[in-house]
Amino acid sequence: MNQAEVSKLVSKLRIKVPPKHRKLPNPKGPEGRLDKLRKTVTGLIKYERIELNYNRADEARQYAERLISEAIRHGDCHKPTMDTANFWLLEKELVHKLFKVLVPRFENSSVAYTKLYNAPKPQYARVLDKAVLELKGNPYPELGNKQTNNKYFIQNILLDAAKHEYRQAKYAEVANKIGQAGNETSPVNTENAEKLNEKPMSS
């Protein structure tokens, strides 16, 4: 059982944080790991949407979230935060972007600042999982298709028509059966059969 560190106060991240870090194997050890992540975080802040391996994306996402939350919490007059931003952003003009663009953008946000998508990969290839990492509020079109359930999409129209036709065929079959049975037993039931036949038409 360890005691929590009390000398530092941090804001809670809005993403799921795994209990252990990923090592991102590197001949330079933990320093090399941070170097890798610095490049990724810099790229993310610069381009706002990047595609990379899932492991690195998930790890870099946590650091980017922390960096932005620190920037929001302390502002640009806080020396240690500035120092941290200076360390994490390899291109120095991005420090201004962090404090002047991203902080106002995310200041009143109640959700995570970044988004991580699983990217497609070839089905039978032995490659690492890919992911797309983006800052929210970026200028690019959305990756996810929001209107997947639009019934006017061509595939939905085609499937709907196919379903309709199949039902019509079924109703007709049932109606025929009843009709035959009615003919054999009594002529009264034919009316019912007709009604049954009409019903789906109207619906």
Partner 1 sequence: MLKSVVSKLISAQQTCGFHTTACLNEVRLLTRLRVVDNSEIGKRAMAEGKPPKVICVYNKTRVGYIGDRVLVAIKGQKKKGILVGLKQTQKVKVPKFDSNNVVLIDDNGTPLGNRIHVPIPTILRTILKEKTHSKGADYTKLLAIATRFV
Partner 2 sequence: MKRHILCLTTRLTQNSLIKTLPLSRFLSSKEAIDRRYHLFMLEKKRQYDKVGRIEKIEVQYKGLPNECTLIMNKDISTPYDCARHLSQFHMETSALALIDNTIYWDMHRPLTENCTLELQSFTCADPHQVNRAFWRTCSFMLGACATVAFKDSVPVKLHSFPGPDIRSGSFIYDVDLPSLGNWQPTHQELVTLGAEYVKLARLNEPLERLEVGEDLALEMFVDNEHKTKQIPSIAKANGKVTLYKVGKHVDISKGPMISTTGQIGRVAVTAVHKLNGSEDNDANQLYRFQGVALPTGVTINHFAFSILTDRARKLNTARSPVQRAADCEESESIAMKA
Partner 3 sequence: MALAIRRSTSDIFCAAKWFIRRDCRVLSTLPEKAEVEVATVTKKEKHIRTRGSRNSALENRFVYPEFLPDPNPNWRNSLREKLERADMLKRRNQIDIPEFYVGSILAVTVADQHSQGKTNKFVGICIERKGCGLRAEFTLRNVVDHQGIEVRYDLYDPTIQIIQVLRLEKRLDEKLFYLRDALPEYSTFPFDMDPEILPEGTPVPLNPVQVKLKPRPWLERWERQDLKGVSNIEEHLKEKDRVRRELRATPWEKYDLMKQYRQTIPIEDQNDIWAEVNSQLQQLHMTRKKMSRKRTFSTPKTQLG
- Interface ranges with partner 3 (CB under 8 A): 1-6, 8-13, 17, 19, 21, 30-31, 34, 62-63, 66-67, 70, 83-84, 87-88
CA-to-CA distance for 10 and 102, rounded, in angstroms? 18
Site residues for partner 2, 18-57, by CB under 8 A, read: none
The reply to whether 153 sits near partner 2 by the rule CB under 8 A is: yes
CA-to-CA distance for 55 and 73, rounded, in angstroms? 27
The reply to whether 149 sits near partner 2 by the rule CB under 8 A is: no
DSSP string, 85-128: HHHH-SSTHHHHHIIIIIHHHHTT--S-SEEEEEEP--TT----
Among 19, 27, 141, 144, binds partner 2 (CB under 8 A): 141
The reply to whether 29 sits near partner 1 by the rule CB under 8 A is: yes
The reply to whether 124 sits near partner 2 by the rule CB under 8 A is: no
Give which of 95, 97, 18 is closest to 59, Cα–Cα: 18
The vertex-197 CA angle with 162 and 151, nearest 5°, equals 30
The reply to whether 17 sits near partner 2 by the rule CB under 8 A is: no
The residues binding partner 2 (CB under 8 A) are 139-141, 145, 147, 150, 152-155, 157-162, 165
The residues binding partner 1 (CB under 8 A) are 27-29
